[in-house]
């Protein structure tokens, strides 16, 4: 028997013992009820008999209830025998009275034993119950013969033996039923436990496989996003500012999205998973700039009309590049990244590019990306301008609320003023040396190009 089997049957013994305890407590009231009925003239039970019955039932029930409090499996088994034999003994005691007719009750205890799912217990209790029944009938007929002066052996045998034989035949049927139930119940339960163990083992293996799959899937996603980050860094080598810009905007996209959710906007859409995808997709929102010549991207002066038109082509180029990107996260990342790259220069009032769409025609991810993109462009250094202060940037968002930006997004950015200031300060401190070196390289490049002209 496995540990699981033992645990189940031990627990079952404890549970059935609790039920037997209630029967024993109820048994304490039977003699009292008989006395009351006798006083009312409805029954005729001697007081001495009732007193002995009460004493017996109280001793048995008290002892049993004391023992079943133990957590020991051995004590619970001892209690099991004490309880069922105690009930059978009480029934047999009732059966000795000539004033009480006990018939079917002799088979009650063997049936109760079936609840323990223990064949050996059932057989032993059946045998003991049968012997107690014969003894009870013997005492009853002895008492009856004494009352009616029928103590001669022949008369006693004629009265007792046929009744005993009839009860024996009935008890044989009880024994056969109890034996069959005990065997069948025990076998069925062992089979069920085996099936459950097998199922639990299968479920455990399934969970392990699922955990391994999720781990590998998570590792794959992480690798994919690292590749995306690597692409963004490669883009940074093509453009003085794009490398740091995509890192900054990734932070701002996540920050703005979370603040929108806190403010009650798009709560159902902006789940943690979706916000994480938005932040990751921000890495490639400017990937279309890879098709823009370096000389234009890093030009020190203002763009000519032709150069600006070429710069405005990077959203379309970004969409084209991302459409051939292998699916990441079942394609959700691809969809979000494509929308960000293609629509992050659209404006809430429809005056943006490349399509001039307005309002909620612009995907939410792109509307958030637009705010993050403009925010970083305002407060960061560029070859053609110095950075604006945080307060100046906040003024731009306030003035452009409802025109360039969706009102709730502009409000979210403005409410993050202090947090943005700290993040911007940290980025500038961290990137200052690298920026100086890059700026020096590009200045030398432009000087060299000017000399060639």
Task: Let me know if 424 is exposed, middle or buried by CB neighbors in 10 A (0-12, 13-18, 19+).
Answer: buried
pLDDT for the residue numbered 3: 44
Q: Is the peptide bond before 354 cis (omega within 30 degrees of 0)?
A: yes
Residue 42 C-beta-side C-alpha neighbours within 13 Å = 6
Query: What tokens appear for 191 in the block?
Result: 């089979």
CATH 1.10.3210.10 residue spans of the chain: 239-452
DSSP 106: G
- Residue in 274, 251, 254 with CA at minimum distance from that of residue 376: 251
DSSP 382: B
Task: Let me know if 266 is exposed, middle or buried by CB neighbors in 10 A (0-12, 13-18, 19+).
Answer: middle
pLDDT for the residue numbered 233: 63
Whether residue 164 contacts residue 133, with contact meaning beta carbons closer than 8 Å, is answered with no
Q: What is the pLDDT along the chain (453 residues), one digit of tens a residue?
A: 444 567 777 888 889 999 999 999 999 999 999 889 888 888 888 889 889 999 999 999 999 999 998 888 889 889 999 999 999 999 988 888 877 777 778 788 888 888 888 888 888 888 888 898 888 888 887 776 554 454 555 566 667 777 778 778 877 877 777 777 777 777 777 777 777 777 777 778 878 877 887 787 777 667 766 776 666 666 655 555 556 788 899 999 999 999 999 999 999 999 999 999 999 999 899 989 888 887 777 776 778 888 888 989 999 999 999 998 888 888 899 999 999 999 999 999 999 999 999 999 999 999 999 999 999 999 987 766 789 999 999 999 999 999 999 999 999 999 999 999 999 999 888 876 666 666 566 566 556 655 555
For 239-452, CATH number out of 1.20.1250.20, 3.30.930.10, 1.10.3720.10, 1.10.3210.10 equals 1.10.3210.10
Q: What is the pLDDT of residues 39-64, one digit of tens each?
A: 888 888 888 988 999 999 999 999 99
Q: Which residues contact 279 (CB under 8 A, 6 or more apart)?
A: 250, 251, 253, 254, 257
Long-range contacts of 161-170 (CB under 8 A, 24+ apart): 163/137, 164/134, 164/137, 164/138, 167/106, 167/133, 167/134, 167/137, 168/130, 168/134, 170/107
């Amino acid at each position: 028997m496995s540990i699981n089997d033992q645990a189940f049957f031990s627990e079952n013994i404890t549970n059935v013992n609790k039920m037997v305890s209630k029967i024993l407590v109820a048994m304490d009231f039977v003699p009292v009820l008989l006395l009351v009925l006798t006083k009312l003239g409805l029954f005729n039970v001697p007081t001495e008999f009732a007193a002995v019955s009460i004493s017996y039932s109280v001793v048995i029930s008290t002892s049993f209830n004391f023992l079943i409090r133990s957590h020991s499996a051995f004590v619970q088994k001892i209690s099991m025998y004490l309880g069922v034999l105690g009930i059978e003994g009480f029934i047999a005691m009732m059966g000795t009275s000539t004033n009480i007719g006990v018939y079917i009750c002799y088979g009650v205890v063997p049936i109760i034993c079936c609840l323990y799912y223990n064949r050996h217990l059932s057989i032993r209790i059946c045998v003991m119950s049968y012997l107690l029944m014969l003894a009870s009938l013997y005492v009853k007929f002895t008492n009856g013969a004494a009352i009616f002066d029928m103590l001669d052996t022949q008369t006693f045998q004629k009265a007792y033996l046929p009744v005993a034989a009839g009860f024996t035949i009935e008890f044989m049927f009880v024994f056969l039923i109890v034996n069959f139930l005990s065997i069948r119940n025990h076998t069925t339960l062992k089979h069920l436990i085996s099936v459950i163990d097998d199922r639990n083992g299968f479920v455990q293996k399934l969970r392990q496989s699922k955990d391994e799959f999720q781990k590998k899937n998570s590792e794959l996603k992480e690798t994919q996003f690292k590749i995306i980050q690597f692409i963004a860094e490669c883009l940074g080598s093509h453009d003085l500012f794009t490398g740091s810009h995509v890192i900054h905007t990734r932070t701002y996209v996540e920050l703005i999205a979370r603040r929108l959710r806190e403010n009650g906007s798009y709560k159902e859409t902006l789940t943690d998973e979706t916000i994480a995808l938005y932040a990751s997709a921000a890495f490639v929102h400017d990937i279309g700039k890879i098709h823009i010549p370096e000389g234009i991207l890093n030009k020190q002066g203002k763009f000519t009309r032709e150069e600006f038109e070429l710069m405005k082509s990077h959203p379309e180029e970004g969409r084209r590049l991302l459409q051939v990107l292998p699916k990441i996260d079942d394609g959700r990342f691809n969809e979000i990244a494509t929308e960000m790259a293609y629509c992050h220069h659209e404006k809430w009032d429809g005056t943006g590019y490349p399509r001039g769409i307005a309002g909620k025609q612009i995907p939410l991810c792109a509307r958030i990306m637009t705010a993050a993109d403009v925010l970083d462009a305002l407060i960061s250094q560029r070859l053609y301008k110095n950075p604006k202060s945080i307060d100046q940037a906040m003024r731009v968002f306030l003035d452009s609320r409802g025109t360039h930006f969706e009102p709730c997004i502009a409000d979210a950015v403005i409410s993050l003023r202090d947090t943005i200031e700290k993040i911007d300060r940290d980025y500038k401190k961290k990137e200052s040396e690298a920026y100086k070196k890059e700026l020096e390289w590009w200045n030398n490049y432009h000087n060299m190009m000017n000399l060639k002209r």
